[in-house]
Each structure stands twice: as C-alpha cells, then as structure tokens.
Structure 1
Amino acid sequence: MDIVHVGVIPPYHLNACKLFINAKKNVLCEKSLAMNTKELKEILDSAKKNNVFLMEAVWTRFFQASVEIRNLLAQEYIGEVKMVRADYSLPLLHMSRSDQKDLSEGALLGLGIYCLQFISMVYKGEKPESIQARGVCLETGVDETVAVILKYSKNRMATFTCSAGVELHSEAIIIGTEGKIQVLSPMWCPTSIIVDRKETEYPIPERCLSLNFTYSTGKRYEVEEVRQCLLKGLKESPVTPHAYTLLLAEMGDEVRRQVEVVYSQDCQ
C-alpha cells in the first residue's frame, strides 16, 4: 500500500490520520485536514515524526486552469495584484448532518476553505495583516453564511463569501494593475478562465464510469501530484506545502473566532 486516502468527515480526521500515520502510511486527507490549528499541528508533528508523506486534498490547486493562473501570476501578466475576490455558495442545509455541530464543518470549513486557498495561492502564502469577518449561524451554532475581508501588505485586499444556505455564482476574480483574471463557476474545480476578455476552457478528463459528482474526474490531477511526490520521495507537496495548510487553518480559526463558531475540538 503506497498511500491511504482519508475521506471521513472532518471531525474524525485527527484520529483517522494519526491511526495511519503511526502505522507508517502516507496520507492524503480530504479538506479540511483538521478542525482547528491545534489539531493540524498534532497531525503535522505526527507525520514528521513518522517520516511519511501528508497532504491536504484541496484538489482545486491541481486543475489545469489553476496551473495556468499560477503561470500568469508568475509572469506578472496582469501586473501587481491589488484585489482578489472569491465566492462559493451551495445549499447544503437539506443534508442530514449539515446543521449538527458535532458532525458538520459549517460553511467556512466546508466551502470557505476553497476561497481561502484561492486567495492564499494568489498571494503566495502571505499572511494577511488583518481579517474582518461577519457571519450568520444556525440555532445549533453551525455557521450558515460567512463574509470576510482580508487586508494584505502594500494596500492589497481580498474578500470572500461562503454560504451553505443559498446558491450563488461561485466564481473568483484577480484584479491587477494591468488586467484581470476571472475564474468562472465552479471556482472550486475550475475549467474555464477569462483573460483579456478571452475565455479559455480546460476540460477535465472524460469519464468512462458512472460517478456521483459531475467533476469527479478532476481528482486525477490531485492523484497525479501525489504520485509524483511519492516517486520523488517528498514528504509534502510543493504546490500545497504544510506551511500553506497551516496558514489556512490559522486564518480559519480567526474567522470562526469573530463569527463566534466554537467546536468541541476547540475546548479540548
């Protein structure tokens, strides 16, 4: 066995990951890798101690459209980035566990992480100078809708909204001093971007079997990244290194603090 894919719901990621890591198994774990920064550090420390590969499965970063976005940013094609906006909303409240605090990761950890990772990718893992967040929570304490403003150095900004209560256009845009890059819906598994008013499509591989979700074949890009990392003997992916994962967790914790979302894992 080369690697274990942990796909249980996030509240059980800590125990599941440590079970396999302590058995000296490489791990690809679905997002969010942990419920908070404390749990994440425990998992990262365990992976380091056991000298195994560990990666958070934020598949967005491995789509061909995301690769092209990083190339354009590296070339400074749109000049200096001044503003980033991302939105991801999907009605999930009909799901049996969506309003149960002990079983749900809420709008932020379930949907907002895609927005956070996109902003983090654009700003190359830089930590924001300030975070302002507002949100609406269900009676059970689960966050339904969250809106966030992030301020970065050199007067650069980013904003995102995520909601599990409504369905909106889930798109993203990067605005620079010399142009912009627009990521069309679905931004969490991007297949089309607009640059210089020209749309370019990056179709995902065709499916040969019946799948539960429309874009499931896009997982191939993430799997290939893991394969290449293992062949090279790496313990983390250079595309989504542990430092990025830790930054996302830290930003998520601050947003939850301001929105007043507290999980049982925060009290342990």
Structure 2
Amino acid sequence: MATRWGLCGAGKISHDFSVAMKTLPPGDHQIVAVAARSLERAREFAKKHSIPKAYGSYEELASDPEIDMVYLGVLHTEHWRLGLLVLQAGKNMLCEKPFAMNSREVGDLIAASKKSNVFLMEAIWSRCFPLHREVRRLLAEDAIGDIKLVKASFGSPQLHIPRSVEKELGGGALLDIGVYTLQFVLMVFNGERPESIHATGVLLNSGVDESMVVVMTFPRNRLAFCFFSIAVSLPNDATISGTKGTIRVLGPMHCPTTLEVNGKTTQYPLPEPSLPLNFTNSTGLRYEAEEVRQCLLKGLKESPRMPLSESALLTEVMDECRKQVGVVFNQDSQ
C-alpha cells in the first residue's frame, strides 16, 4: 500500500518535493492533499501537481484521516507552531530543516511526537543520498583510518532573498545553509557532542548572520572547521581527513553527487525532473521520502539516518553559535 502524503505548505520547496515524488513508484508514494494559507493557492498547486485535495487551512490537513505522513515545507519560523498542530493531531511528520528556531522549540516537537507516538524526522535530505550512505559505510569500515579533521563549506549569494536576510523570517546563513555543514560534521563523528565550539561571524543590519566560521573540537584530538555565507559563493564541499586517507564530498554540500576517496572519483547521478525545479538537485528529495516510507514499514518512530537526538544536538550547536556571534530571534525570549 502506498504511503499517503499531505503537503503542509505550497511554496517552492513543496513544488520541488512534489516533482521529486514523481520519480518514485506511484504504488509506493502518493500525494493526496496540499494545504496553504489560502484555498486559491492550494487549488492552484493541486492542479499543477495532480493532487486530489486542496485545503485552505492547515487544520484541515492535520485532521484528514486519509493522510499517513505530513511534509512540513513552510518557513522555519512556523515549524514549531504548525509542527505541534500536526503532531498533536496524531500525524507522522517530515519537517524541513532547520527543525525549528531553537532548542526549546525542537524539544517541544520531539516531546509532542513521543506523546502522540508518531514518526518524526528533520528533513536533512543529504543524509539519505546514496553518496552519504557510501560515506557512512567507508567510515564504519575504517577506510581512511582515524578521523582527525573535517572541513565543510557552503556559500551562496542570497542577500537579495527576503527570507535569507530578514530576522522576522528566520534569516541568516546559519539556519539556512550553515546547518548542512554542521550536520555533516555530526554525521562523520556519529552524533558525538563536541568538547568545544568557537564561532565568529559578521552580521547584516537586520541582525542576522551574513557569514560565519565555526571551529569545533571533539574527543581524541579531532577537529572540525565549518564556514558558510549568504554573501558569496564558496567551494560548497567537505573533506574528511584520516590517518590512512581522505574522503572528499565535492558537492553541492547539501545535495552531493560526486565523491572522491583517496583520489578516485565516483558519480551518483539524480533522476531528471518532469517540471522545472526551484533548487539544485531537488529530485534528490526522493531519497528522504523513501527513507520515511521504509521507517514506517518497519514501525520506527524516527530515522536512524537522522535520529531525533542528533537533531536536538545540532540545534544546541546552532544555538551556541548564534549566542557567540550575537544573533537573537524573537523566539529565543518566548
């Protein structure tokens, strides 16, 4: 039986998610409903993607008994409020990154999922890519020896995009793209808590971070170095340096398709989209959708590829980075 999806949000990422879903077998995945703040917008989206039902409120979507899984694709300032709505309605949920605005909000979402006994996952889609699965396998097999240094960068000129620069919309490099570099480090170190975090950066006039550098130390003399910016392009890659070799993820950082291991390069091509996409390599969203389905079939309440404990730790790290750089959101004082 197909996993029946409901889309909470009818924006650009929901469009790309819908296009990606068309690359999967219809017998496994079906988008059965979409909700937006206006019924007109939801109907327009539903018509474009051949979705049977359109709702003009998120409450209607959350109460639809024919939905197995909700994909939350709204602004991350709304993740906490709408996430609680979905989870408290007893619905499983895949929540776009970042999980929420701070650790308090993330804690509320995790608690709500456990209380309702439903599945919850932060949509760090790169975790589900075949390339990242290969990286995990290589690390588990000690292919490059003891890991000593991890370096990751992500830079994309986005100063012209309101949601990237406005504090009220949860802007800043950290929550939008820096999160991918930090989660990569935590993946390599298997969810270990860093011993120290040192962050420095520069802020826009709006009070959000334009660029940031984060250095983390881990037990056994291991170091991680992340840098990210919404002002300039950066290499958008990652390097794992071990005592016996090197693994390089050649990018893009958030949706990688090229892997280099000790100088040998392997490509992991993605399916072609049936409609134009808003973001790079978005047909790769198919992998997180399939990960969700497999977890549901196994009766799991969270994904081993992105455990809730690791999402919580990732948010704690980002909270500390914001504190050191001086980025404060309204949600921090609530």
Which residue number corresponds to residue 207 of structure 2? 141
SS in structure 1 of the partner of residue 193 of structure 2: coil
Q: Identify the match of residue 119 of structure 2 among 53, 60, 82.
A: 53
Is 1:162 matched up with 2:246? no
Contact map agreement 2:84 2:112 (CA 8 A) in 1: yes
Q: Give the 5 Å matches for 1:110-125.
A: 110-125=176-191
Which residue number corresponds to residue 282 of structure 2? 216
User: Which structure has the greater CA radius of gyration?
Assistant: 2
Consecutive unaligned residues of structure 2, counting only runs of 5 or more, are 1-66
| Amino acid in structure 1 at the alignment position of 2:169 | L
Task: Report how far residue 233 of structure 1 moved.
Answer: 1.3
Which residue number corresponds to residue 316 of structure 2? 250
Which residue number corresponds to residue 186 of structure 1? 252
Q: Give the 5 Å matches for 1:1-268.
A: 1-268=67-334
Task: Report how far residue 208 of structure 1 moved.
Answer: 2.9
Whole-Å separation in 2 of the counterparts to 1:196 and 1:91:
31
After the TM superposition, which segments of 4 or more aligned residues of structure 1 sit over 4 Å from their partners?
none
Query: CA RMSD of the aligned region, Å?
Result: 0.9
| Amino acid in structure 1 at the alignment position of 2:261 | V
Comparing 211-220 with 75-84, greater Cα deviation is found at 211-220
Whole-Å separation in 2 of the counterparts to 1:102 and 1:137:
15
Q: Give aligned pairs, total.
A: 268
Task: Report how far residue 100 of structure 1 moved.
Answer: 1.3
Whole-Å separation in 2 of the counterparts to 1:112 and 1:99:
14
SS in structure 1 of the partner of residue 197 of structure 2: strand
Whole-Å separation in 2 of the counterparts to 1:97 and 1:155:
38
SS in structure 2 of the partner of residue 102 of structure 1: helix
Comparing 198-207 with 252-261, greater Cα deviation is found at 198-207
Deviation string, structure 1 residues 150-195 (Cα, Å, up to 9, x no partner) = 0011110000001011111101000000000011020211101111
Task: Report how far residue 99 of structure 1 moved.
Answer: 2.1
Deviation string, structure 1 residues 238-262 (Cα, Å, up to 9, x no partner) = 1111011001001001101100110
Contact map agreement 2:164 2:176 (CA 8 A) in 1: no
SS in structure 1 of the partner of residue 200 of structure 2: strand
Task: Report how far residue 232 of structure 1 moved.
Answer: 1.2
Contact map agreement 1:6 1:30 (CA 8 A) in 2: yes
Consecutive unaligned residues of structure 1, counting only runs of 5 or more, are none
